[in-house]
Amino acid sequence: MPDTNGENGNGKKKRVMFIYGTRPEAIKMASLIKRMQESDVLEPIILVTGQHREMLDQVNELFKITPDIDLNLFKPGQTLNTLSSRILAQLDPVLDEHKPDAVLVQGDTTTVAIAAIASFYREIPVIHLEAGLRSGNIYSPFPEEANRKIAGQVTALHLAPTQMSKDNLLREGIHESIIAITGNTVIDALLHTVALPQKFTDPRLTELASSDAKVLLLTTHRRENWGKPMERIARAVARIAESHPEYTVVFPAHMNPVVRDVIFPLIKDYPNVIITEPLNYEEFTHLQGIADIVLTDSGGVQEEAPSLGKPVLVLRLNTERPEAVEAGTVKLVGTDEDVIVEEVTKLIEDRTHYAEMAMATNPYGDGHAAERAVAAIAALLGVGTRIPDFGAA
Ligand code: UD1
Ligand code: UDP
């Protein structure tokens, strides 16, 4: 019987088209692409939609991944519908031309939902990486909860990161035989990157890293936080910067002007606030490493910071990533200004509470997700066998 390292019966590798468009998808696909490039039975074809541009290219450059196809369809101020229609129209002829044996999508962006539908309509099996995350509310996160459910409906192989995500899929009636628990590939990327020597391009961060200042790391971009909630987040951060000068707030800003226009004016004039362009993944990982507290509405950061033993206050009222909340490293604080100030102050002033939250925990992966994913994909395509799930005894 052929396996992932053996010969494929007809001597030709099965071709898996990776379709992605944004920063987090690129980060979470990197280890899998690298692994598949080494396979004797599978071959990756890399297609980027270009839903993001600079923030996507930054990751591909870091991991030395060169797309085979770039739809380059990014347009500033793109709406969900204009973006979706461009993806659908431009993807179809490419799928028809390349006829991959499977398409792999990751996560819950618009690129994911639309690429999954386009592939399904072409009768190409869809593989969903990071399958089964659920908040239980299709309006939060919006539109991500719906996007991942849509992708899940047409998926032939669900690569769930954890037992909890697998359980969500089972509850929706998905058959156990088409689910593999791989761990989250974000931990593969994190463990690889955090081990690299620490360096910052921005001299303000180099100076910060060698100073006594404590770091409060802020990221925010979620669509449901646009406008007033983001304004409240910024006001809270400004109050903390003012009352705790021993802390430096670092805000690597998402490129979206909707985010920048609200946040910048409210925090930029504090001497202990550093606003940067999006950091490359390596530098952002090192920034998480030197942070004392992380304040975020990001999905990926909720997974990474607990692995680094950093208390995370999540600027949302629900999460599809409950594992680290249960472990105690992540707390949902929402976007009420007073509540954010209160929770950050508690972490700053009550170090027993801090120590309880700062317990490193790895519920999302062990750094071997890509190996499990490649084996499960090879099994799906009849050229290999699975290896034991993440967390299997
Ligand atoms: C998207 C995803 C979200 C994911 C996030 C990761 C959807 C609907 N949303 O949200 O799930 O969490 O990416 O960051 O798929 N921009 C640039 N350059 C870039 C990237 C973005 O200028 O490289 C600006 C543009 O003005 C763009 C805006 O950001 O219009 C929003 O980008 P978009 O991909 O539509 O949504 P995100 O908020 O980034
Ligand atoms: N990230 C990065 N540079 C930054 C901010 C974040 O490389 O300046 C990484 C972060 O480590 C995580 C991912 O981007 O892996 C999260 O992306 P984002 O918050 O944009 O999207 P989400 O995870 O919420 O979908």
Ligand closest to the CA atom of residue 316? 2
**Catalytic residue IDs:** 108, 130, 144, 221, 223, 254
Reported in sequence order, the residue ranges of 37-153 that DSSP labels E, i.e. its strands, are: 42-48, 69-70, 102-106, 126-129
- Residue 76's pLDDT is 85
pLDDT band at 198 (very low <50, low <70, confident <90, very high): very high
pLDDT band at 362 (very low <50, low <70, confident <90, very high): confident
- Pairing assessment for the beta strands 155-160 and 293-296 based on DSSP bridges: unpaired
The pair of structure tokens assigned to 39 is 């396979």
CA atoms within 13 A on the CB side of 28: 34
Q: How far is the CA of 301 from the centre of ligand 1 (A)?
A: 16
pLDDT band at 177 (very low <50, low <70, confident <90, very high): very high
Whether omega for the bond prior to residue 388 falls within 30 degrees of 0, making it cis, is: no
Q: How far is the CA of 123 from the centre of ligand 1 (A)?
A: 29
Q: What Å distances lie between residue 211 and 101, 196, 205, 208, 291, CA to CA?
A: 53, 21, 10, 5, 12
Find out whether 251 and 276 touch, Cβ atoms under 8 Å.
yes
Q: What is the average per-residue pLDDT within 45-72?
A: 98
Q: What Å distances lie between residue 330 and 144, 247, 295, 322, 361, CA to CA?
A: 20, 20, 10, 9, 10
- Residue 376's pLDDT is 98
Nearest CA to ligand 1 atom 29: 256
